[in-house]
Amino acid sequence: MSQNPYLHERAYYFNEATDAYVFNLTGVAKPLVLPGTVVRDMVKGYSNLGEGGSVNEIARANNLPRGWVTQVLRHLSVTHDGLPFTAEELATRPSADLEAEGLALKGANLWRSLERQSWSRIQEDALRWRNLETSILRRFPDAPNPAPTRLQIPQSKRRFAVVLSPTDFHWGKWAATEEGAQPYNRAVAARRLKEATEQCLANILPHGAPEEILVGVGSDFFHVDNEAGTTSGGTPQDRDGNPLDIIQSGCELMVQYVDHLRTVAPVKLILMAGNHDHLLGYCLLLYLAAHYRQAPDVTVVLSAAPRQYTSYGETLLAFVHGDAVARTQDIARLASIEAKSLWGATNHRVALTGHLHYEKMEDDRGFVRYQMPSLSGTDRWHMRHGYVGSRVALSAILIDHQAGVFGTLLSSESPPNIKAPMPEKSPYRWVSQDLEGRQEYWTPQAAKAARLDTDSINRVIRGKRLTYNNRTWRSCGEWEAL
């Protein structure tokens, strides 16, 4: 059948004299007339060899309904993979002219692609910065961090420094009296740290003012290492609170601890990467570095190495948690390699470790390792595995500038065994918490006033829950001296 000569071959009409395109669109009562410049820009904008834009972008750029743009592109047989020229341009313009413009469009398209990638990275960086600023940086003051008022301590006859590290503190650990464990939570931990620090400082001050206090940061300071509430190795833990609250409160507690030490001497902070908080221990170090960035009396050694080395006078000090590398001879061998310059410049070599929660000193051919105790006590995991009887304490190691270590001090022992029943007259009171964190102090006199017999109080002490005065007391507490 022959083609009707009166039918137009294309779905649109191009008026070369007026440089205008005429389209009959479905749903539009009258023909759509578009200037040639607009149509050519639409084709370049849609082709991937041009701008590679979407139908929505072209519609917004030309103030046209999306449905109209879709039909126009369909009538022009334009696709993303097509050339960035109309059929009329291909028929009338010289090939060299089209090639030159095509190359220019390709270069411009590449430049726009790079700009989009760059802008995307800028947006991602801005979002990261906003999150960092909102969650962390706004907590830091812009003004310099002033040193607390320094105590008036008599000058020492000898130059010395002190290592005072709360190793294996396990902030955020939850332990109750089930299975014979010692109660431990954040309230207990904060009180123990404050009291033990005051005891150690009271024993140090008769020697005079130290030149420096060195603190190992990490070493299982946090009980968990992630939002899932597990250790660095993925072991689930009993927790006192959600991980985010544990992290925030732990950072704030460490600032209080460092500020306490600053009243006595300048403080130096060094990483001790633990097996419970390998990641968060370093994050804590970064937090402290930011917090004390303008404090002249606080030095933060920013290094993520698993073993850290520094020196004081004639003594090399190795800070090692003691899980991956534990034997004294192995630490000594690594120190001689990793800190060879400090090894050669000192006469005494000392390693400071934790991990096992009890105090120990070991000498291997003059390389002495001090294993520091823990304030966290015995939980149900320790009870099941027989790791009991260790002294709950904070240790202070005193180092002479020339002679090396000349003494170790321990905070005093804890109150009596928590499993012991409450006597009729006791020099201690039982501190417990309700489910909302409020404290209650139980003594024989308080029991009488509440009309509770001693057995009821002892039920709480032995790990049972007790409902009294419309509040439920949980199985966590500790004896406290009156």
What pLDDT was estimated at residue 138?
58
What pLDDT was estimated at residue 450?
55
SS3 192: helix
Identify the DSSP state of 379.
-
HSE-up (13 A, CA, CB side) for residue 307: 23
- What backbone phi and psi angles, to 5 degrees, belong to 212? -160, 145
pLDDT, one tens digit per residue, over 18-52 is 999 999 898 888 899 999 999 999 988 888 877 78
Structure tokens at 311: 């020196």
pLDDT, one tens digit per residue, over 426-468 is 444 555 554 455 555 555 555 555 555 555 555 544 444 444 4
pLDDT at 471 over 50: no
**Which residue type does 274 have?**
G
pLDDT at 415 over 90: no
- The ranges of the chain annotated as CATH 3.60.21.10 are 147-410
What pLDDT was estimated at residue 395?
94
What pLDDT was estimated at residue 461?
46
Give kind and range of the element (H or E) at residue 258.
helix 243-262
> Which of 28, 98, 92, 90 lies closest to 65 in space, CA to CA?
28
- Of 54 and 412, the one with more pLDDT: 54
Give the integer Cα–Cα distance in Å for 43 and 39.
6
What pLDDT was estimated at residue 126?
75
What pLDDT was estimated at residue 135?
59
pLDDT at 469 over 60: no
- Of 113 and 407, the one with more pLDDT: 407
Domain 147-410 has CATH 3.60.21.10: yes
Which residues 6+ apart lie within 8 Å of 447 measured at CB?
Answer: 422, 453, 454, 456, 457
Instruction: Tell me the pTM.
Output: 0.60
Pairing of strands 428-434, 439-442: antiparallel
Only one residue has tokens 């192995």, namely 330
C-beta separation of 349 from 333 below 8 A: no
Q: How confident is the model at residue 479 (pLDDT cuts 50, 70, 90)?
A: very low
pLDDT at 328 over 60: yes
Give the integer Cα–Cα distance in Å for 166 and 393.
9
Which residues 6+ apart lie within 8 Å of 439 measured at CB?
Answer: 187, 431, 432, 433
pLDDT at 287 over 90: yes
